Chain A
Amino acid sequence: MKETLANRESQLEVNSTLTYKFKERFSRAVLYVVLTLGALLVLMPFFWMISTSLKMPSEVASMPPRWIPSVFMWENYSEAWNMAPFAKYFFNSCYVAITCTILELITSALAAYAFAKMEFFGKKVIFMVFLGTMMIPGEVMLIPNFMTIIQLKWIDSYKALIVPWMVSVFGIFLMRQFFMTIPNELHDAAKIDGCSRFRFLWQIVIPLSKPVLVTAALFKFVGSWNSFLWVLIVTNSPGMRTVPVGLSFFSTDVGTDYHLLMAASTFALLPLLILFFFLQKQFIQGISRSGLKG
């Protein structure tokens, strides 16, 4: 009797493991199908961009759309490259994006630490005011900010491209949320050992916050790389402009040279793509922990 009972139990166990395994496999299959479809959907515009960048102008708007060009026009790339001083634009874009990113990380980390771990008069109010500035659309501030830059005589300089962007409320907010999850006990322990606040931030908080730093940095870098209107407004000479201004050369009010624009977009995208490949892991960690996406 005892034996049969044990037998039965093990039988049941086997059955349930089987159904469990089957269920798991099935749900995995569904998951992969959905993810593959999603990936294809996301990749389609990229594919269209690259395919269009190799088309002849007459093929660009043909209906039904051609996915593979009949002739591969590699010369579109050299033609697009020569439409504007892209080498200079790439240098400016890299210089401005890297500098802005580093400066923003420094200012954001300092401010976020103060908001997360220190007590001072009016902390909540100041933080709310900071957040409030995020609600003002950028377009509203564009002209006043431009006028400020004119008064400072910063027009057509790297200062105008970098200084206004070295602080970001979004960066402060992102880091503050992360810093708040770091236990205060760590600070107490460090303080007992004679550690200053700055050293605590630099040697303990920052190393613990790598994912959020990478996320903030990527957001900033991508934002800075893509910024167009501000660059156009505060600069005049071609030597001070960046890649997105170069991309605007291909459009007019009566039509767009899509084949050249897509060729230029492809080479404009490369630096971001390379950056993302290297920092993928941290970027995804940062998103899953902070609950934010681009």
Chain B
Amino acid sequence: MKKFLLMALLVVMVVSMAMPAFAAEKITVTFWHAMSSGHGGFLQKLIDDFNASQDEIEVVGIYQGSYGDLSKKLLGAVASGEPPVVAQMYEDWTTKFVENDKIEAVQWYIGSVFTQEEIDDIIWSFQLSNSWDDTMYTMPFNKSTNLLYVNLDLVDKVPTTWDELVEQSKVATKDVDGDGVIDIYGFGIRPTVDTFNIFLRQAGGDFLDENGKAIFNSQAGVDALQFLHDMVYKHKVAMIYQGYLNEPLGEGKLAMYQDSSAGMPYAAQAVGGKFAWTAAPLVAGVQAAAPFMGTNLAVFTDHSDEVKSAAMEFLKFMVNTENTAWWAIQSGYLPIRYSALETPEWEEFVAADSKNAAGPAQFDYGTFDPKPDGWSTIRDIIGDYVQQALLNEMSIQDALDAAAAEANKILGF
């Protein structure tokens, strides 16, 4: 009996001595991201908060340059079987990895890490854009949308439809000194794929059909480009501008433009309090539509189950109601769940400035870029032809047909 007690005591002692050592052995989760400057600081704060919130998992955030640099590094690392545990990724990069079973699906962790309610609370269009074959693989994280920027001193009202946009552009367009040259334009157009995207969706069109074949040269595509073309050449109320449109807006030479919500701080900087301005939801064409963009968080499969669960816990923390609201308020990206819009912090943020409500107002009609492998290349091609059509170097139909033909070659049609 004595011997047994002694043994038991010894076992307890050894175990108790070993316990803290075991507890100190944390699971390391590497997280590759492309957030520099101010955004990088906010991201690091969230990572630090997560590490401080529990003592089993240590997340190490690693800055990997721009999105382009990050994508190259991911490609090499995954091919070599040495991916990070978590990374920020665009949908079209993810497609390639999902096809090769390299991404651990968020959906597989409903019940163990996530609750169904937690997933249902995520903005519906974000759920869709993070799903492949009806399985949600990645977690939306830093999302932005397009908005209508308006110099309120130059228009009678903030337009909400295409017709009103033309009307208000006519109101704003002026030849101030009477020399026959227009000094203030109503609307600014960057001849890019992003501009085309906005108007294509609003005209009721889409880039690809359900089989993944390019159809943006349809009537809707033509209508979209024709509308922009008419603004410039027929009504003479819009200017084509290659640089960032916040510059002419700030100088008082432009009344309105549609561009990314992430550019709001730069618009505010350019205006500098010289006149009243706002950022409003986009105008609607045949239908209301607003493109959303930005990256998601993905977990890679090449790790132990323990590490992957830990990574999912990290994702859960990053986008919980409190954190997604905090991140959105700090960074200018959008909250990714409905419940965040009802937090006192968010309500205060919107009450302080109506511009902050414009992005979430578009959640119900959000659209996303298609995500086939090679989409980045196709985007560049479309951008080239859109520019040629808007600069009158090609007819609208010819330009869209040529772009669709090239896109279909890449898509395998």
Chain A residues at the B interface, C-beta cutoff of 8 Å: 57-58, 61, 63, 83, 142-143, 146-147, 150-151, 155, 228-229, 232-233, 236-237, 245, 248-255, 257
Can you offer 6 A-B residue contacts whose CB atoms are under 8 A? A83-B37, A147-B79, A150-B80, A237-B62, A249-B63, A253-B67
* Complexed CA–CA distance, A58 and B247 (Å): 12
Q: Are A254 and B266 in contact (CB under 8 A)?
A: yes
Most B C-beta atoms less than 10 A away, residue of A63, A143, A252, A254: A254
* Complexed CA–CA distance, A147 and B67 (Å): 20
B42: min CB distance to chain A, Å: 12
Q: Are B73 and A146 in contact (CB under 8 A)?
A: yes
Q: Are A150 and B77 in contact (CB under 8 A)?
A: yes
Q: Are A150 and B82 in contact (CB under 8 A)?
A: yes
B174 on the A face (CB < 8 A): no
Q: Are B65 and A61 in contact (CB under 8 A)?
A: no
**Residues in chain A near residue B39, CB distance under 8 A:** 252
| Neighbour of B272 across the interface among A58, A249, A250, CB < 8 A | A58
A261: min CB distance to chain B, Å: 10
* Complexed CA–CA distance, A83 and B30 (Å): 22
**Residues in chain A near residue B34, CB distance under 8 A:** 253
A290: min CB distance to chain B, Å: 34
Q: Are A254 and B262 in contact (CB under 8 A)?
A: yes
Contact with A along B77-105 (1 / 0, CB 8 A): 10110100000000000000000000000
B66 on the A face (CB < 8 A): yes
* Complexed CA–CA distance, A118 and B351 (Å): 81
Q: Are B247 and A250 in contact (CB under 8 A)?
A: no
Q: With A233-B73, A249-B37 given, is the CB distance from A63 to B247 under 8 Å?
A: yes
Q: Are A257 and B270 in contact (CB under 8 A)?
A: no
* Complexed CA–CA distance, A57 and B269 (Å): 8
B260 on the A face (CB < 8 A): yes
| Neighbour of B251 across the interface among A63, A146, A245, A254, CB < 8 A | A63
Q: Are A146 and B69 in contact (CB under 8 A)?
A: no
B265 on the A face (CB < 8 A): yes
Per the 8 Å Cβ criterion, residues 106-147 of B in contact with A are: none
* Complexed CA–CA distance, A61 and B79 (Å): 42
Contact with A along B20-40 (1 / 0, CB 8 A): 000000000010001111111
A70: min CB distance to chain B, Å: 14
B370 on the A face (CB < 8 A): no
B75 on the A face (CB < 8 A): yes
* Complexed CA–CA distance, A63 and B77 (Å): 45
**Residues in chain B near residue A142, CB distance under 8 A:** 72, 76
* Complexed CA–CA distance, A63 and B72 (Å): 37
| Neighbour of A58 across the interface among B69, B73, B269, CB < 8 A | B269
Q: Are A236 and B270 in contact (CB under 8 A)?
A: no
Nearest-CB residue, chain B, relative to A153 = B82
A52: min CB distance to chain B, Å: 15
* Complexed CA–CA distance, A255 and B265 (Å): 9
B302: min CB distance to chain A, Å: 12
**Residues in chain A near residue B247, CB distance under 8 A:** 61, 63
**Residues in chain A near residue B69, CB distance under 8 A:** 229, 232-233
* Complexed CA–CA distance, A63 and B265 (Å): 18
